[in-house]
Amino acid sequence: MNGPCAKQTTLAVIMLDGKVLSHGTNYCRRPQEVCPRKGLPTGEGYEMCHEVCEQRGHAEKIACLSLPNM
């Protein structure tokens, strides 16, 4: 099951000449009710996104990984 990040859902879109080439989100394989990073300063604890929530990565990374072969 995939679901939104408890802290903040992000969407990244890669476009070229007005055409959408790819998109990605920071959805999680094991979404949590409360973010395990709650209370941590910005930029800390991202390993918990992967370990606890099974997030594949930031939306931008997922969008890049989803780009078609050109």
pLDDT tens digits, one per residue of 32-49: 999 999 999 988 999 999
- Residue 1: inside a domain, yes or no? no
- Residue 5: inside a domain, yes or no? no
What pLDDT was estimated at residue 43? 86
- Residue 6: inside a domain, yes or no? no
In the chain, the number of structural domains is 1
What pLDDT was estimated at residue 54? 96
- Residue 44: inside a domain, yes or no? yes
Q: Residue 46: which domain range?
A: 11-65
What pLDDT was estimated at residue 36? 96
24 by DSSP, 3-state: which?
A: strand
* Closest by CA position to 55, among listed 33, 22, 38, 32: 32
Residues of the chain with pLDDT under 50: none
